[in-house]
Amino acid sequence: MRVLVAMSGGVDSSVAAALLAGKGHEVVGATMKLWGGASDSGCCSVSDVEDARRVARRLGVEHHVFNFTDEFEAGVVDPYVSAHLAGLTPNPCVECNRHLKFSAFLDRALRLGFDAVATGHHARVGRGRDGQARLLRGMDAAKDQSYVLSCLTARQLDRVLLPVGETTKAEVRRLAAAWALPTAHKADSQEVCFVAGPRGAGSRRRFLEGRAELHAGRVLDVATGEQLGSVPAVELVTVGQRRGLGVAAGGRRFAVEVDVAAGVVLVGRETDLAASGVALSERTWVGEPLAEGSAVLAQASAHGRPFAAVLGAGGLEFLEARRKVAPGQVVALYVGDEVVGSGIASRAAA
């Protein structure tokens, strides 16, 4: 099989390429240049390109660089900014997979005559009894990345290989060291790749200020309407946030609702975040849509704890009250270890 491997310059994609080459596949590596801005700390920096090239040389395979900066700007960066300006919580990694890695990159691979693409994600592609591709959690529960792939369809997965999803991260590191790959001891990337600097609201604020006007906001008590403080940028507050709300006293307070248009953040106790469901927009199904009333496990962040829910016409009904899902967040839907689909949390009633 002729496989184009998306080599990010990290250890997982390096080992993915090595595993496939070791199985006799015709492997070619390609690194996507996604971001042309100031950050050089994410998944497509100059140093990452060079690391990928060094690994390819070590494996004796071709390596190319594909420029997708325009597609990345339109499909990931612009929606990220727009989400913040609307008071939503974006997930750029999911959108990068949706629009770049398994759309633009996959399309180019097929046009170039490749049979499949491969990445270093910790998830698995299986087959149902009907032969249709299925998306499963990775073998290493602590490193499972099926959540960020929950936007994919069976048609896409039919041309996708995820070699490291069958093993653990510790084994990936061991193999990389045994094969003397240059990335064997490289730390995992944790940042949003186009936001320069350390993680946190400060870096996001500097990035957004270069693209849009941010506004100070009043922090009001959700029960009384009393003003308790202020925030320098209401666009940076997310539902469920506790730190950085400008509330000096009165016990722990959480952002319960963000109204950018009004310049208001409503805060309350943790109990004020309790919800019985979540409305979902932009639903995507891996295969056939589940029927209303179907029992699912839902996951609202990359490493969040799954919770039981029932699929309704407008979204999910939780079997037990839990913390509200921040509007804008991707909610992945599972049946057992299989991803069946996903949606985006909205402000509407479920």
Active site residues: 96, 193
Q: Print the SS3 string covering 313-334.
A: CCEEEEEEEEECCCCCCEEEEE
Count of positions (residues) in the chain: 350
The closest of 337, 341, 336 to 316, measured between CA atoms, is 341
Q: CA of 223: how far to CAs of 227, 256, 269, 271, in Å?
A: 11, 11, 10, 12
Please tell me whether residue 3 adopts helix, strand or coil conformation.
strand
| Spatial strand order in the sheet of 160-161 | 62-67, 26-33, 2-6, 116-118, 160-161
- Burial of residue 54, with CB atoms counted within 10 A of its CB: 0-12 exposed, 13-18 middle, 19 or more buried: middle
Residue 213 token pair: 């006007």
Dihedral of CA atoms 211, 215, 220, 226 in degrees, nearest 10, equals 180
Mention every residue, 6+ apart, whose C-beta is less than 8 A from residue 330. Answer: 91, 94, 147, 150, 151, 300, 342, 343, 344, 345
Q: For residue 86, how many other CB atoms are within 10 A of its CB? A: 15
Q: For residue 70, how many other CB atoms are within 10 A of its CB? A: 10
CA 123/CA 162 separation, integer angstroms: 6
